[in-house]
A and B are shown apart, each in its own frame.
Chain A
């Protein structure tokens, strides 16, 4: 099994190497089939692993292989792979999406200038994503964490001739860096106290009280429990950056400048889920306070991003904000302790959001070709206001869109319903029974279900808005509409596969009860026990008991709010009973706020970056005008005056002496000139003779 995992890890790297070193030769020829083939091989290998895991069906199954990488005597860093059920499921998810995206890209990216470079970067991305999934330690996860950041940067900037794409790449990279600083600091705190990066060892040592014993001594008498909270939140900051949680979410919508298959693979299904995966990995050593923080950030992100998605007109921007919102759901689930629900949603979301992005790519592809046909380079192929009525022209894309929208909106029979319902039940339970953590202490825990159900309603609303604007109604641009064609088979087949994977039974087999998530997934994935012993830890048993009770009422409410959202969407966008413009006008400030993404980018530019630059300028001017002018130049002026006086004294007294000495040395020079030969070896001889003489004088 370990060998299989290593194959899965390194095969995509080979694909990268192949594409990068042979792109000249394969520019026209079909070099991409090597990459696609490799991806499908890894898919088969990971399905084999899944089969092996399911045949065991052991929730505690785990394997570890590690190798000492850096051994400094006192401090060792191991690299290695750790495999448990979660790892295997993640590997399968990455392999499925990655291979389908590879296949899809052969049509979508056909004729691109940097075609093989694109496949090479997809390869290195898949390699690094597998690395994150297989990592057995925080340190190794950090290495691959930066590698996925790099490949994301490269792929967002794939069309770097466009300024907006180049800038989006930089923005993604730098924003992620802010989160990574926190993650690195947290890692260092943990390693300093416990002397290890390994997940298993960290949990064990915290459980054995090493943390409680060492933390105070190493960090100036701080209470160990508080330090553990700080460390947990700091490591989670990495996830805030990578999984685009508030306030570092700003890069993800801009990242849509990359090719659409990249958005599907990296910015919807896998890389952004890496933050959630990291939170899953550190879950056993999160304190109640850290979990409350995580839950609050997740919940706020979920509703915040959902409100923005309502008013966007770019089809990919809507999906991007919906991704941010869904990632918020997962993070919130982990924060509330609904571990299984959070990871479950990660998996289901990867499938349906991957499909949504690929389907939107299919629409954009069709639009693009139609515009190309008309020689129209002005119209935006991604703007939903230019679409409409596409369901007759693109039936397969439309069908996939319907299925996956149903899944994301939480309609029964689809996968999203199960995972979302579990998350909402989790928040419900959290609000009802949890007493630890600052949210509960401030009596604010009820805010999480409000966030959750609110976001569920809004999600249903904007997703159906997207469908109605794109596929229903009349064609808004008839001449473009005329040339719209369904995409080729290599693009539609991945869509269909992902749509099938968004059905509920894919995750509940062997049981086929559409309203219960009981099945293979919940058998193999089970909450780990909390290792925290330094203070109040999360009471999982109590919590899961509460989850069972909250299940049915949460489900009913969630169906109800989703129905509400869909109903409103139908009224506004399908039947036109309520005018969208009037609604917007009536909501005024709220509409403008949402449309402008609550001015978050403006806040960063005007609130942080500009004042910072201004501060730099002010300090610079202070340096120039005051420091230089008075201190340095003033000092200079004073020195000049003093030196004039001194100079006069010099001329008379010192110079006289110097001249006298000069005369003496001139005479000496005359006499000693003959031993100066200019040859280094001569000098060396004299030095040695001198040294010998000194020794002799010294001894005798």
Chain B
């Protein structure tokens, strides 16, 4: 059963990501992106990353996606829900991307990863992440807070009418 669900999620991610990449309607793309985000959250659960799954939903779906929708609304004259979009140089892009994908897969798959058959079971990652965040990663954590503050101020300044 779990296996089946896993492959369903797997397929959902691939399908929705493909819609993001190839779709002709921007709004459809955004909603497909939501599918991808939720699917990735599901993958996190299969990877025992409970904290990350929740963060994924809260930040990506709740935050970034809403930002993107706002971005679309603010930059298009919306008369219908049909906001079309186009792509350029599809052929060249496809060739390049397929090349890169082939390289990644040939590089990654044949490698014999240590312990790849012995998955570790985490029961609860929140405690561990919390401890690491306030011990080993404390400086990174503080820098991240400064960065977020900078992004906040920067975004607010940039988005003002008179720059």
A residues at B contact (CB < 8 Å): 72-74, 681, 685, 688-689, 691-692, 695
**Sample of 10 further A-B pairs with CB below 8 A, known A73-B134, A74-B135, A681-B88:** A72-B134, A685-B93, A685-B96, A688-B97, A688-B99, A688-B100, A689-B99, A691-B100, A692-B100, A695-B107
Would A685 and B135 count as touching, CB distance under 8 A? no
In this complex, what residue of A is CB-closest to B107? Answer: A695
Q: Is the interface of A mostly helix, strand, loop or mixed?
A: helix
User: Which B residue sits closest to A684, measured CB to CB?
Assistant: B96
Q: Decide yes or no whether B92 CB sits under 8 A from chain A.
A: yes
Give the distance in Å from the alpha carbon of A685 to the alpha carbon of B89 in the complex. 10
Contact of A73 among B89, B100, B131 (CB under 8 A): B131
CA distance A691 to B102 in the complex (A): 13
Q: A681-B88, A695-B103 are in contact. Are A689 and B96 (CB under 8 A)?
A: yes
CA distance A636 to B47 in the complex (A): 61
Measured between beta carbons, the chain A residues less than 8 angstroms from B103 are 692, 695
Residue of chain A at shortest CB distance from B96: A688
Closest approach, in angstroms, between the C-beta of A618 and any C-beta of chain B?
36
Whether B88 contacts A73 by the Cβ 8 Å rule is no
Per the 8 Å Cβ criterion, residues 83-133 of B in contact with A are 88-89, 92-93, 96-97, 99-100, 103, 107, 131
Nearest chain-B residue to A682 (Cβ)?
B89
Cα–Cα distance between A74 and B132 once the two chains are bound (Å):
12
Nearest CB in chain B to that of A70: its residue: B134
How many Å lie between the Cα of A695 and that of B103 in the bound state?
A: 8
Instruction: Report B-chain residues with C-beta under 8 Å of the C-beta of A73.
Output: 131, 134-135
Report A-chain residues with C-beta under 8 Å of the C-beta of B135.
72-74
A692 vs B134: C-alpha distance when bound (angstroms): 40
Tell me, in angstroms, the Cα distance from A74 to B92 when the chains sit together: 56
3 tightest CB-CB pairs across the interface, nearest first? A692-B99, A73-B131, A688-B96
Contacts of B107 in A (CB 8 A): 695
Q: In the complex, are the beta carbons of B88 and A692 less than 8 A apart?
A: no
20 pairs from A and B in contact (CB 8 Å cutoff): A72-B134, A72-B135, A73-B131, A73-B134, A73-B135, A681-B88, A685-B89, A685-B92, A688-B96, A688-B97, A688-B99, A689-B96, A689-B99, A691-B100, A692-B96, A692-B99, A692-B100, A692-B103, A695-B103, A695-B107
Q: Are B131 and A72 in contact (CB under 8 A)?
A: yes
> Taking CB as reference atom, which chain B residue is nearest A696?
B103
Tell me the bound Cα distance from A681 to B134 in angstroms.
40
A688–B101 Cα gap in the complex (Å)? 11
Min CB–CB distance B151 → chain A (angstroms): 21
**Min CB distance, A453 to chain B, in Å?**
55
**What's the minimum C-beta distance from B61 to chain A, rounded to whole angstroms?**
27
Beta-carbon nearest neighbor of A679 in chain B: B88
A695 neighbours in B (Cβ, 8 Å) = 103, 107
- State A689–B100 Cα separation when bound (angstroms): 8
Bound Cα distance from A73 to B107, whole angstroms: 40
Q: How far is the CB of A431 from chain B (nearest CB, A)?
A: 52
Q: In the complex, which residues of chain A have a beta carbon less than 8 angstroms from the beta carbon of B92? A: 685
Residues of chain B lying within 8 A (CB to CB) of residue A681: 88-89
Residues of A contacting B88 with CB < 8 Å? Answer: 681
**Could you tell me the distance between the alpha carbons of A681 and B131 in the complex, rounded to whole angstroms?**
42
Chain B residue at smallest Cβ distance from A681: B88
Binary per-residue interface labels of chain B (11-48) against chain A in the complex, 1 for a CB within 8 Å, 0 otherwise = 00000000000000000000000000000000000000
Complex formed: what's the CA distance from A42 to B88 in Å? 73
Interfacial chain A residues near B131, Cβ < 8 Å: 72-73
Q: Please measure, in the bound complex, the distance between the C-alpha atom of A629 and the C-alpha atom of B58, giving whole angstroms.
A: 58
How far is the CB of A487 from the nearest CB of chain B, in Å? Answer: 54
CB distance from A685 to the nearest CB of B (A): 6
With the chains together, A695 CA to B99 CA distance in Å? 11
Tell me which residues across on chain B come within 8 A of A74, comparing CB atoms: 135
> Which residues of chain B have C-beta atoms less than 8 A from A691's C-beta?
100
CB distance from B29 to the nearest CB of A (A): 17
- Among residues of A, the one whose C-beta sits closest to the C-beta of B127 is A73
Q: Which residue of B lies closest to A71 (CB)?
A: B130
* Chain B residues with CB under 8 A of A72: 131, 134-135
Closest chain B CB from A336 CB (angstroms) = 44
CA distance in complex: A688, B96 (Å): 7
B93 CB to closest chain A CB (Å) equals: 7
For the complex formed, measure the closest distance between the CB of B107 and the CB atoms of chain A, giving whole angstroms. 8
Bound complex: CA of A72 vs CA of B96, how far in Å? 48
Q: What is the chain A residue whose CB lies nearest that of B87?
A: A681
Kindly state the separation between the CA atoms of A689 and B94 in the bound complex, as whole angstroms: 12
Residues of A within 8 A of B97 (CB): 688
In B141-162, the 8 Å CB interface with A consists of none
Residue of B nearest to A688 (CB): B96
Counting chain A CB atoms within 10 Å of each CB, which of B89, B103, B135 scores highest? B103
